[in-house]
Amino acid sequence: MEVVPRARLVKYLEEKKTYVVPLVAPEWFKDPYQEKFLWMSSLYEDENLLISPSQKPVEFLNRESLVGKKTSDVIGHRNAMVEDLITHKQVQRIEAGSYENILKMLASERIDFAIFGRMLYGSLVDELGLQKELYVSAKPIEKFSRKVLINPKSRTDLQKWLEKAVLDLRGSKEWKRMLVCSY
């Protein structure tokens, strides 16, 4: 398994090969009605958090609360709302090579905010020991279901098999315990 920028992933998905993409949301692929690709049931509910330096906290109220700020994202990873603000020159972006680097930039106040999925943030902030240096806005940017995408749509055999695996996973005590620990 490899993590690739979304632009490259979209090109892969245009090919006739079979791809299984975990932990994504239909809206990220312009497939809100789940018609373009095959989708599994939700693995878990997640939300994107607005993270800022604890010495300069940013409280997310709406998109206007980000205007005039500096952010960072991993190369190839984008949030539609922030991308629109960047396109209109209302937010400045610094590209980063990793999410760990983004948290370090926040802790050193090189950027004003960044957006992280709750589970990823919880894992990395603990690993880096930056809990005291970072602030999490009370209001999340957005909430969504983490799912598994399958392409091409003709792979209904794979969809049936994975759907059973997802439902089994969601019903397991270990999975529920892991989700509780992550939130």
CA distance 106 to 134: 7
What are the sequence ranges of the domains in the chain? 1-183
**Burial track 12-30 (b if 16+ CB lie within 10 A, e otherwise):** ebeeeeeeebeebbbebbe
Look at residues 165, 132, 139, 138 and name the one whose alpha carbon lies nearest to residue 150: 165
CA distance 156 to 151: 10
**Is 30 in contact with 78 (CB distance < 8 Å)?**
no
Look at residues 19, 8, 173, 159 and name the one whose alpha carbon lies nearest to residue 77: 8
pLDDT at 177 over 90: no
CA angle 155/159/160 to nearest 5° reads: 120
pLDDT band, residue 8 (cuts 50/70/90): confident
Domain 1-183 in CATH 3.40.190.10: yes
Q: Per-residue pLDDT tens for 26-78?
A: 998 889 999 999 999 999 999 999 999 999 999 999 999 999 999 999 887 88
Residue 145 pLDDT: 94
Half-sphere exposure of 57 (CA within 13 A, CB side): 13
- Residues 6 or more apart whose Cβ sits within 8 Å of residue 154: none
Residue 183 pLDDT: 56
pLDDT at 1 over 80: no
pLDDT band, residue 152 (cuts 50/70/90): confident
CA distance 101 to 91: 19
Q: Per-residue pLDDT tens for 84-128?
A: 999 999 999 999 999 999 999 999 999 999 999 998 899 899 999
